[in-house]
Amino acid sequence: MILPRAIRDAVVAHAREASPFECCGILVGTPHAIVTAVRAANLSESPTRFLIDPHDHIRARREARAARLEVIGFYHSHPRSDAVPSATDLAEASYAGHLYLIVGLAGDDPDVQLYRFTGSSFEAVSFRT
């Protein structure tokens, strides 16, 4: 999977701005590349949970379709932990086959990891910038 450096940096910036709460957003692209990351409001406003605003989700889907792209996944942050899916992430994931990018801010440098939700678990996805 291709994750351009500019998009990675934009998601990390969003995570830092939202801290101590989780940030969230939508990943738009093709089956092989993330083309853009669309910020979304976190209706949960929580340090341990995210809930993408449905209006932002629908808007991102419409804009993706207009650009002949697809919503291929979602992103969120873990302000005080590593970029590993939590039990809550697993319990609330509902888009099998979609990507989930997580930014962990526990260390000095942000930890950015990409996963694909299989419908029952998360599998690590390698990416290049």
Q: Which residues are catalytic?
A: 22
For residue 95, the 8-state DSSP code is -
Number of H helices and E strands in the chain, helices first, is 3, 6
* Bridge partners of residue 70, in order along the sequence: 29
Q: Which of 87, 122, 103, 82 is nearest to 39 (CA)?
A: 103
Cβ neighbours for 124, distance < 8 A, ≥ 6 positions apart: 113, 114, 115
Cβ neighbours for 77, distance < 8 A, ≥ 6 positions apart: 14, 15, 18, 19, 22, 23, 24, 102, 103, 104, 105
